[in-house]
Amino acid sequence: MSRGWRLRRPRGPLEVASAAVVALAVLVMAARTLTVTAGALIDAWPVLLTLALVGGVAAVWRARRSVGGRRRKDARLAALRITLAEFDAMDDRRFECVLRDLLVRDGWTARRVGGGGDQAADVIGDHTVLGRIVVQAKHTRVGGKVGSAVMYGVKGTAGPAHRADHAVVVTNGFLTRDAMTWGNRHTVHWVDRERLQRWAESGAALHELLKLPTRSRSSWFKRAA
């Protein structure tokens, strides 16, 4: 017999019995665990079913909303789409007229009012849910910047003079950091070159782009009686 092999000593009755007891204990423990788990699932099935239904409904809602959003964007682009290059080639009056048309595209009833004595309003739009918006248009040369003084002017007249719920400064150029910071702090919205592209060229609605709140009595720009 090879030296690498060793004969195993046969297990005695006590060893066999001990192994059997251990195996039985494991089976009993597994059965108890399974029973407890099954009981917990049975008790919780209404909650689990509700969560599954809620998750399914939410997934369907998100999918439908996404499809609906794409369709609305496509419809807006089919109605009117303006590129930054086209904006840059416009004069001030044409710029104001196109901003009016973009508001109309987004569901506002809008009119151009810019000119002498416009009191910091070039376009005014009305919406059944969102209220009234005042747009101050600032057409600049490419790379031009709009400063804080424009924000001050819109802030001072949007509510008292125009009874507006929202005020926004729109430019085909850029705004200074101070102007953006001041506008954000005092609820004067702004559209710079990048946002203008998303609005006019990519099809985003202005109220979605700026996250405009619906009209309420406690809105920042309160209408005069």
CA separation for the pair 170, 174 (Å, rounded): 9
Lowest mean pLDDT among 9-13, 70-74, 145-149, 180-184: 9-13
Which amino acid appears at position 66 of this protein? S
52-99 pLDDT, tens digit each:
666 766 665 455 656 666 899 999 999 999 999 999 999 999 999 999
**pTM > 0.85:** no
Enumerate residues 6+ apart whose C-beta is below 8 A from 202.
73, 77
Residue 83 has phi, psi (to 5 degrees) of -90, 165
Strands 123-127 and 109-112, sheet pairing: antiparallel
**Nearest CA-CA partner of 204 in 94, 88, 85, 72:** 72
CA separation for the pair 123, 71 (Å, rounded): 27
178-206 pLDDT, tens digit each:
999 999 999 999 999 999 999 999 999 99
The answer on pLDDT for 224 being more than 50 is no
The partner residues of 123 in beta bridges, in order of sequence, read 112, 135
